[in-house]
Amino acid sequence: QVNDTMGHDMGDVVLRTVAERMRKTVRNTDNIMRLGGDEFAIILEDCSKASACIVAEKISHAIAEPIVSGDKTVTLHTSIGIVLAQHPSDTVD
């Protein structure tokens, strides 16, 4: 929607800003990936359910801060899903 209403330059600013905010929220050992469009995935190794919820809350608050570029301002909201996996696991399932 940002690209359609504010242009691709602003869309690029939004994506870079969101990625940087997420990077500042997680540990250096965690992995952040852009899946496409406005979807990201973050892998938090050795992380409890409680810690994952805290990180998700921090990310949500960080992304909700307005993004300003020139005379344009964007305020975003997030939808975050959490999946926990047993470690170590012998199979993908």
- Give residue-wise pLDDT tens across range 28-45: 999 999 998 889 999 998
Angle between helices 8-25 and 49-64 in degrees, nearest 10: 140
Whole-number Å distance between alpha carbons of 22 and 28: 11
* pLDDT at residue 91 is higher than 80: no
Res. 93 pLDDT band, cuts 50 70 90: low
Cite the active site residues: 38
Range list of H helices, the chain: 2-6, 8-25, 49-64
| Calpha distance 33→18 (Å, rounded) | 12
What pTM value is reported for the model?
A: 0.82
